[in-house]
């Protein structure tokens, strides 16, 4: 293998910047890159970034975290698509689960991604037990498909009732439709998500079709651009589950890219924290409008089975569990009619942005408060787009909109804004940690993105966290995640088996088959892996319940069997149930609803020591003097350091500010920052061991 | 009580809501019956030690309980005052609708929180159990004339005394239901939620101190009061009258009026329902507690910023005489309380629309359509499929109404067809939006739905619905929606109920179907003001038929129209489109 064949680049295309992380596995060397994103023609920034590392043709592999799918969903810019359903059920997609937008308030409507005239019905019916009551007529399906294609549909979804129980009618319809459909973008629901609940399955299948032309043409464009540069290596995409997949799989299942970008960030934050000796962390990405939180327990990210992208847009496929609250740097502070200070959810975004950007907004934001308090350096704004920030304008806005109504002076008002925002972030962290029974003393915060490190002090104090770990390069965390993410493929199959009298051998055969199928997808991805693990999970409940608990099965396929018994399943179910709820229900029979299978191709170990500061780093070289920063009702003279020049082992007592091109770390009084052997900054309470 | 800084207050607000939210989530996930697990017919919160006032409520709980639970806790407070013996580790259980609001299916668990030997506050949980006896599986007996025909009534009694479960009571509960396992599972789910709430709230008190948390409770209440007063001050002073009717009470086929005189004077409001009909023979009565709770729901939907605690009701005076069906007492039947409160909420929206036309919202579909199909499987086991169905919300200044929504009293989701078909011997033959069901308007209502279900065994049919005679109204010139319709197959063809929206004593055979067509929401603004492209889209997508466009929007659409309007000639403008086959 040539040296060139061991180079990998992670590329995270965000709304403003494209971040890159280049890693030479042979030499253990890395480089980072940041270029402006080119919305609408991402290939331009993508290639410009890659060229920064030398000839693109020399790269062995590229792994990409993308928001193309996310944006297409949020902005409703997917393709025009068609849907064929069981007769009588074309409106399932539009009728949702009969929900409302908000608990309180009756306004707002809903437009599904497939309008009613592009939803065709055909005669067919499968019963809940899998019996086919009415076979499908392929000629009728072909006629419906031709009509939808003629009306401009670029992709086709086929969703029949009870197809999870028997996919025969759907498969026959798929064959008939594919024969007349002008492109490969045709799928049936049992091929995308063979799981019970028709709305969720239809929504997922339809959103997959909605993204297929968009993601497909995006990947095609990138493929073309890479080919034109002579690139002949492997090109992969990060999925919402935090694993990577081949572009072939991404084209088939684009709905799995919905949280591609954020998932990569969580993966990297988890890996960095684990290497630094923090297996339990809460990652926090503070952007312009939102704060995204994710929980990592014993080095493992939490996956949620379903995500609602927006009202009525449900995707049911495992995704890294990311909770979002409306508190970001651009969140607007105001005093409500009841006299309570609120920060967000309204946001000034990045345009016009905070008052201090001088781009026309006059209502104070969280960033304005941070600037007024001296926590953000007004002379060296992050990102480099602005020369300096307008502190006076920010202070005036805070005085008018917050200080006067509350009867505070402007500095106290600015501090109150930060505290309320801190409380919201702390609340989000509590929701994913304490509220699920995790002890905050065992967790550290890992802020990444541009803004999170400004608030680590409050997160430590308000939530009672063990400390915070600021990665050495917070701004390229997602790009780094692309490089280190495992390959992963998730499958689900509704089985509806009663545990009493379970045919364990039949379930075993099913598990072995599912495992083989999932493995095949991982193997076909073609990236080097050390081994492939198969993980089984059952969704189970007591007969009569509709919700399920996830029951992890500690088994693997050996010699063509998992060796699983009904008694082992019962024991695993009771353990999982007891963890979730205080009471077991002896005597009530249990049932297996779904079988979940994941194949995970473990990537070769990535040595994060490569990121550590070099021997040239020293405390003296890093010192940038002091500046006044407002903490706890008074100005403090805070030491300021160039963060990347700090040596391993450096200890900086608060109050201090650590600056680097893409992030600012605030060390509050009473806290100490220490540079660990990997170059991360670890912030803890004075006297506390991290 | 110590003063509390605004920042700590904001932090505590979030923490306390999270506790209630997590109690909700715990019950949803561990409940047995889909009315709780899927339809979220449940609620949790923290209540004042002496008054029972709502201090904190979850953000996901059933809206109607937010107002009603305070009365439930008050019933326990009264019981303790009378009988004494309150101790740490106690948990009370009851379902008495006259004391605690709503109906017999709603089981309330109320548990004291003690601090240093003193009662600090109450934790409570309420959830809708599937069946608690009575003449009709599921409890929605449209023919009940007394509470005794609806199920068993429990006054507040100790389910757990100082940590010891009263097994006698558990046995009595089990003996008085058609579905003992389901109720047992739900009871355990509610206890799971209370256990969790107790742990979380205890930890919070340890962290912040009792005095700070108590001060926060007082401040939340003040704040809700202030916000509600601010909202009322923004309305012009005056009296706004509005009334609407219920089809019938299921016993006597005569309409029942809910009439409101809403008076705004400065930052106070009087809600006077004295002109409403007297208590009914059938099960559509509600208690004072339920009526207040329903007013609260309507206000929260209009003034969405006002927080969910008792403070917001302070500026409001209620006039709900016991001589009306809104202030009924024992043993008046109340199983169908949802229909009455939905009409009451509509009346509130109608009156508020006059006070503030700029924020007017047309009537939601306004019926829950509690439909039960019950029979026996080939193996002899009993099955009862019970569900509520959706309809359209009203047009409003911003948008058309939402199609196929849940009712304003609820955040319930509907069980999927596939879950129902897997659980019960039924086959849905249609699950669709209902054309022409929305009230026309500049912003039309949302569409109602059509559900057609084939029974795979013989089945008894029960329905408790409404809106069969007077359609959901429009506002600011918008038109009314379509009427609710129900029909079932017989050997002679389709039949419809004599009481229009209420059905008992009907049995269908295996292979026969029932069909429910629900109303949309009323329209907002004159139909003539609807943007031509919006109406063209309605026609293209079949939300509005050519006949409907001609009738409601004066749209010239050619030959199809004449044909359709010809068919419609004999019908009222209430618009009974979508003929049942």
pLDDT of residue B29: 86
Q: Is A107 on the interface with B (CB under 8 A)?
A: yes
Least Cα distance to A92 among B188, B417, B80, B75 occurs for B417
Q: So what's the pLDDT on residue A627?
A: 95
Q: How far apart are CA B253 and CA B359, in angstroms?
A: 35
B223 to A340: CB separation less than 8 angstroms, yes or no = yes
Spatial contact of A602 and A533, defined as CB atoms under 8 Å apart: yes
- At A689 the pLDDT is 60
Q: Give residue for tokens 């345009």.
A: A351
**B311 in a structural domain:** no
Higher pLDDT, B40 or B356: B356
**Which of B405, B414, B433, B448 best probes binding to A when mutated, by most A CB atoms within 10 angstroms?**
B405
What confidence score (pLDDT) does residue B510 get?
Answer: 97
CA dist., res. B304 & res. B326, Å (int): 25
Name, in order, each residue with C-beta under 8 angstroms of A432's C-beta and a sequence gap of 6 or more: A282, A293, A294, A295, A302, A321, A323
Domain boundary among B201, B225, B249: B225
Is there a contact between B417 and A161 if contact means CB atoms under 8 Å apart?
A: yes
Cβ proximity of A398 and A390 under 8 Å: no
The pLDDT value given to residue B581: 31
Record: contact A542-B18, CB cut-off 8 A: no
- Which tokens is B15 given? 């923490």
B416 interfaces chain A, CB cutoff of 8 Å: yes
Cβ count near A626 (within 10 Å): 14
Question: What's the whole-model pTM score?
Answer: 0.89
Distance from CA of A327 to the nearest CA of B (A): 14
Residues 293-312, chain B: which have Cβ within 8 Å of A?
A: 300-301, 304-305, 307
Task: Determine, yes or no, domain membership for B127.
Answer: yes
Domain for residue B540, yes or no?
A: no
**Cβ contact A259:A322 at 8 Å:** yes
Q: Range of B487's domain?
A: 360-531
B31-B33-B36-B39 Cα dihedral, nearest 10 degrees: 140
B466: left (phi over 0), alpha (psi -120 to 50) or beta: beta
Q: Which helix (H) or strand (E) holds A594?
A: strand A590-602
Report how many helices (DSSP H) and strands (DSSP E) chain A contains, helices first: 18, 35
Closest Cβ opposite residue B38 in set A427, A496, A546: A546
**Would residue B167 count as lying in a domain?**
yes
Q: Going by C-beta distance under 8 Å and a sequence separation of 6 or more, which residues neighbour residue A113?
A: A76, A78, A81, A93, A206, A207, A210, A313
- Tell me phi and psi for residue A445, to 5 degrees: -85, 140
d(C-alpha A573, C-alpha A579), whole Å = 10
The answer to whether residue B534 neighbours chain A at the CB level (below 8 Å) is: no
Its sign, for the CA torsion A24, A25, A27, A32, is: positive
Whether the CB of B200 is below 8 Å from some CB of chain A: the reply is: yes
Contacts of B421 in chain A (CB under 8 A): 127-128, 161-162
Pick from B6, B28, B181: CB nearest A340: B6
Residue B196, chain A, CB below 8 Å: the answer is: yes
In the numeric block, the tokens 């095609």 are attached to A220
For residue A116, the chain B residues in CB contact (below 8 A) are 433, 541-543
Q: In A, which residues are within 8 Å of B522 by CB distance?
A: none
Summary mean pLDDT of chain B: 91
- Least confident interval from A567-571, B57-61, B530-534: B57-61
Q: Which of B225, B256, B283 is the last residue of a domain?
A: B225
Residues of B in contact with A580 (CB under 8 A): 29-30
Q: How many CB pairs under 8 A join A and B?
A: 213
Question: Chain A within 8 Å of B30 (Cβ-Cβ)?
Answer: yes
A162 touches B at CB < 8 Å: yes
Tell me if B432 and A91 make a contact (CB, 8 A cut-off): yes
Domain membership of residue B448 (yes or no) is yes
Measure in Å the smallest separation between the Cα of A336 and chain B Cα atoms.
Answer: 9
CB-based contact, A424 to chain B, within 8 Å: yes
Nearest by CB to B433, which of A94, A199, A420?
Answer: A94
B291 reaches A (C-beta below 8 A): no
In a domain, B570, yes or no: no
DSSP codes joined into one string, B262-323: EEEETTEEEEE-TTSPPPPSSS----HHHHHHHHHHHHHHHSTTS-SSGGGGTTEEEE--TT
Whether B279 maps to a domain, the answer reads: no
Between CA B395 and CA B356 the distance in angstroms is: 15
CB spacing of A94 vs B400 below 8 angstroms: no
Q: What is the pLDDT of residues A50-98, one digit of tens each?
A: 999 999 999 999 999 988 888 888 888 899 999 999 999 999 999 999 9
Task: Mark which of B225, B249, B264 sits at the end of a domain.
Answer: B225
Nearest to B226 among A104, A107, A338 (CB): A338
> What share of chain A in percent tops pLDDT 90?
68
User: Does B419 touch chain A if contact means CB atoms closer than 8 Å?
Assistant: yes
Q: Taking CB atoms and an 8 Å cutoff, what residues of chain B touch A170?
A: none
Look at chain B and report how many structural domains it folds into: 2
Q: Does B165 touch chain A (CB under 8 A)?
A: no
Residues in chain A where the model's pLDDT stays below 70: 1-5, 15-16, 39, 350, 382-385, 433-438, 689-690
- Range in A630-639, B103-112, B260-269, B558-567 with the lowest mean pLDDT: B558-567
Measured between beta carbons, the chain A residues lying within 8 angstroms of B418 are 128, 161-162, 164, 196-198
Torsion of Cα atoms, A453 then A457 then A462 then A468, to 10°: 60
Q: Which of A106, A108, A116 sits opposite B408 (nearest CB)?
A: A106
Instruction: Quote the CA–CA distance of B110 and B132 in Å, as a whole number.
Output: 19
Whether B239 shows a pLDDT value over 80: the answer reads yes
CB contact under 8 A, B30 and A581: yes
Q: Tell me the nearest-neighbour CA distance from A99 into chain B, angstroms.
A: 5
Count CB neighbours of B443 within 10 A. 28
Residue of A nearest to B452 (CA): A88
Å between B52 CA and nearest CA of chain A: 23
Backbone φ, ψ for residue B146 (5° rounding): -140, 155
Residue in the block written with tokens 């770990």: A469
pLDDT at B386: 86
At B5 the three-state DSSP class reads coil
Nearest-Cα residue of chain A relative to residue B540: A117
Q: Yes or no: say if B79 and B92 are a contact pair by the CB < 8 Å rule.
A: yes
As a dihedral over the C-alpha atoms of residue A144, residue A145, residue A151, residue A154, rounded to 10 degrees, the angle is 150
Option in B231, B413, B430 nearest A99 (CB) = B413
Task: Please give the pLDDT value at position A175.
Answer: 98
Phi-psi region of B364 (alpha: psi -120 to 50; beta: other; left: phi over 0): beta
In this structure, what DSSP letter does residue A486 have?
P
Domains and CATH numbers, chain A: 3-73+217-257 (3.30.420.40), 80-184 (no CATH), 279-465 (3.30.420), 486-602 (3.30.1490), 613-685 (no CATH)
B138: alpha, beta or left? (left if phi > 0; alpha if psi -120 to 50): left
In a domain, B451, yes or no: yes
CB interface of B with A, residues 352-371, below 8 Å: 361, 364
pLDDT value for B557: 52
Of A113, A151, A98, A115, the closest CA to residue B538 belongs to A115
Test mutation, B31, B416, B516, chain A, max A CBs within 10 A: B416
Token pair of A3 as six digits: 């040296």
Q: DSSP for A404-446?
A: HHHT--HHHHHHHHHHHHHHHHHHHHHHHTGGGT--GGG-EEE
Do A427 and B14 lie within an 8 Å CB cutoff? Answer: yes
Burial A632-660 (b: 16+ CB within 10 A, else e): eeeebebbbbebebbbeebebebbbbbbb
Q: Do B191 and A161 touch (CB under 8 A)?
A: no
Q: Chain B 62-81, CB below 8 Å of chain A: which residues?
A: 63
């Amino acid at each position: 293998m040539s040296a060139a064949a061991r180079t990998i680049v992670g590329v995270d295309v965000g709304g403003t910047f494209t971040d890159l992380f280049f890693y030479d596995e042979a030499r253990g060397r890395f480089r980072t890159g940041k270029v402006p994103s080119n919305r609408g023609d991402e290939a331009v920034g993508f290639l410009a970034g890659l060229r920064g590392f030398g000839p693109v043709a020399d790269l062995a592999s590229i792994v990409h975290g993308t928001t193309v799918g996310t944006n297409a969903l949020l902005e409703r810019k997917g393709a025009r698509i068609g849907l064929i359903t069981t007769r009588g059920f074309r409106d399932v997609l539009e009728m949702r689960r009969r929900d409302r937008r908000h608990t309180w308030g009756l306004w707002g409507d809903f437009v599904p991604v497939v309008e009613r005239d592009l939803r065709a019905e055909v005669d067919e019916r499968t019963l809940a037990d899998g019996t086919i009551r009415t076979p499908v007529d392929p000629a009728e399906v072909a006629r419906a498909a031709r009509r939808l294609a003629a009306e401009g549909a670029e992709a086709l979804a086929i969703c029949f009732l009870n197809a999870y129980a028997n996919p025969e009618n759907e498969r026959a319809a798929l064959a008939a439709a594919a024969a007349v459909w002008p492109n490969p973008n045709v799928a049936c629901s049992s091929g995308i998500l063979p799981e019970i609940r028709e709305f969720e399955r239809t929504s997922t299948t339809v959103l997959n079709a909605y993204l297929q032309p968009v993601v497909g043409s995006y990947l095609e464009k990138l493929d073309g651009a890479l080919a034109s540069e002579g690139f002949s290596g492997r090109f992969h995409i990060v999925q919402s589950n935090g694993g990577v997949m081949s572009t072939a799989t991404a084209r088939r299942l684009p709905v799995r890219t919905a949280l591609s970008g954020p998932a990569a960030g969580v993966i990297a934050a988890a890996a960095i924290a684990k290497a630094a000796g923090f297996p339990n962390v809460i990652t926090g990405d503070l952007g312009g409008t939102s704060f995204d939180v994710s929980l990592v327990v014993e080095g493992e990210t939490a996956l949620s089975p379903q995500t609602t992208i927006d009202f009525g847009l449900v995707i049911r496929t495992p995704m890294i569990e990311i909770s979002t609250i409306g508190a970001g740097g651009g969140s607007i502070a105001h005093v409500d009619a009841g006299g309570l200070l609120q920060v967000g959810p309204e946001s000034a975004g990045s345009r016009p942005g905070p008052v201090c950007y001088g781009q026309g907004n006059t209502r104070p934001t969280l960033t304005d408060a941070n600037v007024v308090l001296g926590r953000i350096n007004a002379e060296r704004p992050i990102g480099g787009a602005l020369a300096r920030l307008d502190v006076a304008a920010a202070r005036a806005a805070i005085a008018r909109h917050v200080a006067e109504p509350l009867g505070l002076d402007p500095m106290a008002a600015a501090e109150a804004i930060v505290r309320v925002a801190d409380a919201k972030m702390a609340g989000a962290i509590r929701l994913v940690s304490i509220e699920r029974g995790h002890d905050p003393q065992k967790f550290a915060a890992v802020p990444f993105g541009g803004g999170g490190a400004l608030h680590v002090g409050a997160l430590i104090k308000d939530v009672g966290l063990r400390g915070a770990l600021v990665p050495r390069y917070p701004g390229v965390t997602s790009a780094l995640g692309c490089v280190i993410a495992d390959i992963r493929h998730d499958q689900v199959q509704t089985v509806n088996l009663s545990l009493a009298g379970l045919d364990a051998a039949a379930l075993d055969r099913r598990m072995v088959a599912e495992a083989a199928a999932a493995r095949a997808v991982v193997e076909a991805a073609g990236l080097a892996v050390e081994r492939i693990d198969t993980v089984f999970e059952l969704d189970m409940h007591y007969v009569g319940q509709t919700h399920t608990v996830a029951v992890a099965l500690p088994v693997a396929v050996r010699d063509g069997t998992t060796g699983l018994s009904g008694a082992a399943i019962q024991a695993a179910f009771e353990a999982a149930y007891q963890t979730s709820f205080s009471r077991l229900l002896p005597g009530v029979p249990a049932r297996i609803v779904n079988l979940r299978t994941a194949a995970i191709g473990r990537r070769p170990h990535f040595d994060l020591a490569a990121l550590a500061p070099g021997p040239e780093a020293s405390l003296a070289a890093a010192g940038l003097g002091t500046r006044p920063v407002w903490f706890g009702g008074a100005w403090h003279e805070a030491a300021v350091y160039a963060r990347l020049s700090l040596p391993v082992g450096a200890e900086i007592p608060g109050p201090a500010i650590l600056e680097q091109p893409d992030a600012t770390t605030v060390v509050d009084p009473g806290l100490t920052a220490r540079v660990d052997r990997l170059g991360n900054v670890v912030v803890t309470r004075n006297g506390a061991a991290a | 009580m110590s003063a509390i800084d605004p920042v700590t207050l904001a932090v505590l607000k979030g923490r306390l809501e999270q506790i209630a939210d997590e109690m909700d989530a715990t019950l949803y996930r561990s409940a047995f019956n889909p009315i709780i697990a899927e339809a979220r017919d449940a609620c949790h919160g923290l209540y004042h030690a002496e008054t029972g006032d709502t201090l904190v409520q979850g953000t996901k709980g059933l809206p109607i309980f937010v107002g009603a639970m305070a009365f439930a806790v008050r019933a326990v407070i009264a019981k303790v005052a009378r009988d004494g013996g309150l101790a740490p580790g106690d948990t009370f259980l009851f379902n008495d609708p006259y004391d605690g609001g709503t109906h017999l299916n709603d089981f309330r668990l109320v548990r004291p929180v003690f601090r240093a030997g003193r009662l600090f506050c109450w934790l409570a949980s309420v959830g809708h159990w599937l069946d608690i006896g009575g003449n009709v599986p599921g409890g929605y007996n449209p023919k009940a004339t007394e509470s005794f025909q609806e199920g068993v009534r429990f006054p507040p009694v100790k389910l757990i005394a100082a940590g010891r479960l009263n097994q006698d009571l558990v046995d009595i509960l089990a003996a008085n239901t058609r579905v003992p396992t389901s109720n047992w599972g739900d009871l355990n789910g509610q206890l799971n939620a209370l256990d969790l709430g107790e742990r979380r709230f205890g930890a919070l008190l340890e962290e912040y101190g009792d005095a700070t948390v108590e001060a926060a409770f007082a401040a939340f209440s003040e704040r809700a009061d202030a916000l509600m007063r601010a909202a009322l001050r923004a309305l012009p002073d005056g009296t706004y009258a509005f009334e609407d009717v219920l089809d019938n009470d299921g016993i006597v086929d005569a309409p029942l009026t809910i009439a409101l005189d809403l008076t705004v004077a400065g930052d106070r409001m009087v809600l006077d329902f004295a002109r409403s009909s007297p208590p009914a023979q059938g099960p559509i009565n509600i208690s004072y507690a339920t009526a207040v709770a329903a007013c609260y729901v309507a206000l929260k939907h209009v003034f969405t910023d006002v927080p969910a605690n008792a403070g917001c009701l302070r500026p409001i005076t209620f006039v709900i005489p016991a001589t009306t069906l809104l202030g009924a007492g024992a043993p008046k039947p109340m199983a169908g309380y949802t229909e009455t409160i939905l009409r009451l909420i509509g009346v509130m929206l109608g009156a508020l629309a006059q006070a503030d036309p700029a924020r007017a919202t047309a009537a939601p579909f306004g019926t829950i359509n509690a439909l039960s199909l019950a029979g026996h499987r080939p193996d002899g086991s009993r099955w009862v499929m019970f569900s509520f169905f959706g309809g359209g919300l009203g047009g409003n200044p911003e948008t058309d109404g939402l199609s196929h929504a849940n009712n304003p009293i609820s955040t319930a989701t509907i069980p999927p067809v596939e879950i129902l078909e897997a659980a019960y011997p039924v086959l849905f033959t249609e699950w669709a939006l209902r054309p022409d069901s929305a009230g026309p308007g500049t912003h039309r209502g949302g569409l109602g739905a059509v559900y057609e279900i084939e029974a795979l065994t013989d089945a008894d049919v029960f329905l408790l619905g409404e809106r069969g005679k007077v359609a959901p109204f429009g506002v600011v010139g918008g038109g009314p929606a379509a009427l609710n319709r129900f029909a079932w197959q017989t050997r002679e063809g389709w039949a419809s109920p004599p009481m229009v929206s209420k059905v008992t004593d009907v049995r269908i055979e295996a292979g026969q179907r029932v069909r429910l067509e629900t109303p949309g929401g009323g329209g907002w603004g004159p139909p003539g003001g609807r943007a031509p492209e919006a109406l063209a889209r309605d026609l293209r997508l079949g939300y509005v038929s050519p006949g409907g466009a001609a009738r409601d929007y004066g749209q010239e659409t050619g030959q199809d129209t004449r044909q359709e309007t010809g068919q419609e000639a004999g019908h009222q403008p209430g618009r009974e489109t979508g003929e049942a086959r």
